[in-house]
Amino acid sequence: MATAATASATRFTAAAGGAFHGLRWRCSPPAYQGAILSARPRAVSLTPQRRFVSPSALYKADIQTKEEGLPETLDYRVFFLDGSGKNISPWHDVPLHVGDGVFNFVVEIPKVSSAKMEVATDEPFTPIKQDTKKGKLRYYPYNINWNYGLLPQTWEDPSFANAEVEGAFGDNDPVDVVEIGERRAKIGDILKVKPLAALAMIDEGELDWKIVAISLDDPRASLVNDVDDVEKHFPGTLTAIRDWFRDYKIPDGKPANKFGLGNKAANKDYALKVITETNESWTKLMRRSVPAGDLSLL
């Protein structure tokens, strides 16, 4: 396995086009996963660009995903591979920027599902796994109604107190995305999205941004470009998202989550500001200007 320094020297910031998912391997898939396995393999070529860690930090390959273990087990992982079959990180190696206000979004949880999937930020190459608590798999109490995942190359710094959001500190994770398009994505899909709004969720005192976005391949993508457009063309959606994330822990006996910024969704410009700031925090993390703690930088 490569050292962290070697891995950092071979990161990439290639601009990816469209939504893509790659080949998936496993032994005996359950029936409900048939849709994932029946999809025809496809990959999108990435245009190599430079990344801050090294002038020669280039990738020339496509991205694929590989499943290990069975879904809804403790061993299940979805790894990301480059075209040569080497492991890469969906958090660190998938580029954030596509260009012209468009960003890559890594799908962790497809809409209309309840398994709480997430990148394993403390494991090498940060594969997607199902979250656990006290050794048991975690599920939301009800299905999530939107595609949910992360913005790569972002990080909510737990040492930074945001004066605009009640002085809350970052939650030590990548920034979350709630994608409101009509298509149900798959675990490990990477979609090109444009941000529309931002919700400042405060979860047990930690700031946990939710960027509301839409995939560019959605039929209504051209109609929505800011928070007011969401209310016009997706009426009630912003309220539904806020209420879902406010209340999802209540069935487990926990208090409702709070929201900063007046309990309202901020506009697109504010969402872009959040993305820029958290990308800068991730850059400091990768340069080891701030402590990584248990986070994997591979």
Catalytic (active site) residue 140: yes
- Burial label for 246, CB within 10 Å (0-12, 13-18, 19+), is middle
The three-state secondary structure class of 5 is helix
Helix then strand then coil, in percent of the chain rounded to 5, is 20, 30, 50
| Among candidate residues 107, 191, 104, the one with its CA nearest the CA of residue 147 | 107
- Supply 277's token pair: 């700031």
pLDDT of 83 reads 87
Q: Which helix (H) or strand (E) holds 230?
A: helix 227-233
Catalytic site residue from 32, 76, 140, 270: 140
Residues 6+ apart with CB under 8 A from 170: 155, 156, 157, 158, 159, 160, 162, 206, 207, 278, 281
The backbone region for 5, taken as left when phi is positive above 0, alpha when psi lies in -120 to 50, beta otherwise, is: alpha
What domains lie within the chain, and their CATH numbers? 4-47+54-286 (3.90.80.10)
Please state, in angstroms and rounded to a whole number, the distance separating the CA atoms of residues 42 and 34. Answer: 17
pLDDT of 62 reads 84
Q: In terms of residues, how long is the chain?
A: 298
Please state, in angstroms and rounded to a whole number, the distance separating the CA atoms of residues 197 and 257. Answer: 19
pLDDT one digit per residue (tens) for the chain, 298 residues: 444 444 443 443 333 444 444 433 333 333 333 333 333 333 433 333 323 332 222 233 489 999 999 999 999 999 999 988 999 999 999 999 998 899 999 999 999 999 999 999 999 999 999 999 999 999 999 999 999 999 999 999 999 999 999 999 999 999 999 999 999 999 999 999 999 999 999 999 999 999 999 999 999 999 999 999 999 999 999 999 999 999 999 999 999 999 999 999 999 999 999 999 999 999 999 999 999 999 999 9
Number of helices followed by number of strands (H, E) in the chain: 5, 18
| Among candidate residues 213, 195, 208, 197, the one with its CA nearest the CA of residue 265 | 197
Amino acid of residue 177? V
Residues 6+ apart with CB under 8 A from 77: 67, 68, 69, 120, 127, 128, 129
The position carrying tokens 């080497």 is 86
CA 213 to chain centre: 12
Sign of CA dihedral 156, 181, 94, 226: negative
Please state, in angstroms and rounded to a whole number, the distance separating the CA atoms of residues 74 and 137. Answer: 7
- Burial label for 138, CB within 10 Å (0-12, 13-18, 19+), is middle
